Structure 1
Amino acid sequence: MTIHKILPYIEQRPLMYLKTKDIYLLDSFIGGYLSCQQIYDKNFNDIDFQSNFHEWLRKKFNFDLGFTWADYIFNISQNESANSVDVFFREYHLFKKENK
């Protein structure tokens, strides 16, 4: 199962996968999932997700280098007074739409 197939499940029921709706917990989940997938899936094709999403966010919001995509999402959510996981999924859907 690719990261793109599991994220809709997390979006529907985030507290089933994360202790709290926190972007850094989601980042850890995604990182662990991708690491496990890379080790056990011979058809691993999600390797570019984090770097592509990171670069897309950085350019879209004109962020400096040296921060993670989770840091970018956290900053956006703080500026909007919104939940960081909700902001992630909003931006993730836009990212997917633009990169089909």
Structure 2
Amino acid sequence: MAYVVTDNCINCKHTECVDICPADAFREGSNFLVIDPNECVDCGLCVPECPEEAIFAESELDDSDIHFVELNADLAVKWPEILESKEPLSDHQKWSGQPEKIEFLVS
């Protein structure tokens, strides 16, 4: 089981989770982060670091979010590692808490 980044991260992209990850499992796209399931060590340290509450254990996902397991795995092989935190996206406050942002994902 790995941890998964979900919809709440889209267009916010806070990166506090990156600094705490002992496995360097995060990958970065232009408006979203994902976790590489092959690198994740299932420690859960990233979960409380995410101000958008976007990270969940696979086993905690409900049916409407289960597709994020495959999405994280697919994008993790395409996107580069991110090893240091950065500022969130400039308009993250506008997007914070907005539901169903998947249509805005830039892959």
Give the structure-1-normalised TM-score. Answer: 0.34
Task: Give the structure with the larger helix fraction.
Answer: 1
Task: Give the structure with the larger strand fraction.
Answer: 2
Q: Which has the higher contact order (CA 8 A, sep 6+)?
A: 2
Larger radius of gyration: 1
Give the structure-2-normalised TM-score. Answer: 0.33
